[in-house]
């Protein structure tokens, strides 16, 4: 069930500047400037927010399903998915500087060029994308923030679902995978309090219960580690109830 503390955390998030117009990216990290080397496909901080509602028309210059991965990490899913699905326009997103630079170097040599990469925050997807602009959101193996005092840092909360609902088209989908039992339970409780999405798939053991699901077609770097340790993969698929 959604506890009083979680409701309070959600209320605090809504007053967090990260979710507001007043938020400003600031950084002295040297990798911020280094990312400019890849400016043909990398957008840093507020650069991406200037393209809200224009991704297909002005950035990709073609009409295609627009997919977003929040927390692209080392890029294994992003590169694999783009190679296998050249018909989609794919946007990867992560907030860490050095890891973003490392991934950008790999993407520069990737044969499929149907992607863009954002160094940005997942909490700001409603500033990055217009209403009904996205077709899919992927959210795989996020930091679970397991300590109680840090749980409010978890991205998957009611305010995030509100923003996802806005930017996803009618029937748009969110796909989630996690190794962490506690975060999976947290997500279930958040979804129970939401009436904007239909939960069409929920499992505590993805590869045994849904071996034919496309989420089993690939393994991220972290997923391979978890599976080798015998950790079961928890997964969810949500569909927007928004009407045309």
Output the pLDDT for position 15. Answer: 46
Give the residue-averaged pLDDT of 60-86: 96
How far apart CA 222 and CA 36 sit, in angstroms, is: 28
User: Which has the higher per-residue pLDDT, 164 or 18?
Assistant: 164
Of 103, 161, 127, the C-alpha closest to 45 is 127
- Residue 11: per-residue pLDDT: 47
> Residue 143 maps to which CATH number?
3.40.50.150
What CA–CA distance (Å, rounded) separates 155 from 22?
19
pLDDT for 14 beyond 50 = no
| Domain tally, the chain | 1
CA distance 133 to 128: 10
* pLDDT value, residue 35: 94
List the domain range (segments joined by +) for residue 176: 4-240
* Of the candidate ranges 46-55, 122-131, 220-229, the one whose mean pLDDT is the lowest: 220-229
- Alpha carbon distance 235, 139 (integer Å): 10
Is residue 21 packed enough to be buried (19+ CB in 10 Å), middle (13-18) or exposed (0-12)?
exposed
The mean-pLDDT minimum among 10-24, 87-101, 134-148, 199-213 falls in: 10-24
Please state, in angstroms and rounded to a whole number, the distance separating the CA atoms of residues 31 and 33.
Answer: 5
In the chain, which ranges are E strands? 42-44, 66-70, 89-94, 115-119, 134-140, 168-178, 197-203, 234-240
Active site (catalytic) residues: 143
Q: How confident is the model at residue 16 (pLDDT cuts 50, 70, 90)?
A: low
pLDDT for 137-173, tens place per residue? 999 999 999 999 989 999 999 999 999 999 999 999 9
Residue appearing with tokens 């998915």: 81
Query: Which of 85, 111, 102 lies closest to 214 in space, CA to CA?
Result: 85
Dig out the tokens for 74 from the structure. Answer: 């080392």
């Amino acid at each position: 069930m959604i506890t009083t503390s979680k409701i309070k955390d959600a209320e605090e998030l809504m007053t967090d500047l990260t979710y507001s117009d007043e938020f400003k990216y600031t950084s002295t990290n040297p990798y911020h400037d280094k990312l400019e080397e890849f400016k043909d496909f990398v957008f840093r901080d507020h650069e991406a927010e200037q393209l809200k509602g224009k991704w297909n028309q002005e950035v990709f210059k073609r009409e295609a399903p627009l997919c977003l991965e929040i927390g692209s990490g080392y890029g294994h899913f992003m590169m694999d998915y783009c190679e296998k699905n050249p018909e989609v326009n794919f946007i990867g997103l992560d907030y860490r500087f050095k890891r973003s630079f490392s991934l950008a170097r790999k993407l520069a040599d990737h044969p499929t060029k149907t992607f863009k990469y954002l160094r940005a925050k997942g909490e700001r997807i409603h500033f990055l994308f217009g209403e009904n602009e996205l077709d899919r959101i992927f959210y795989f193996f996020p930091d679970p923030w397991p300590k109680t005092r840090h749980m409010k840092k978890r991205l998957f909360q009611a305010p995030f679902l509100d923003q996802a609902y806005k930017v996803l088209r009618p029937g748009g989908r969110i796909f989630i995978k996690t190794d962490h039992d506690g975060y999976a339970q947290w997500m279930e409780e958040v979804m129970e309090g939401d009436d904007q999405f239909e939960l069409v798939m929920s499992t505590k053991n993805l590869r045994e219960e849904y071996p034919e699901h496309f989420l089993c077609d690939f393994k991220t770097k972290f997923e391979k580690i978890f599976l080798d340790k015998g950790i079961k993969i928890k997964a969810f698929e949500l569909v927007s109830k928004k009407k045309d």
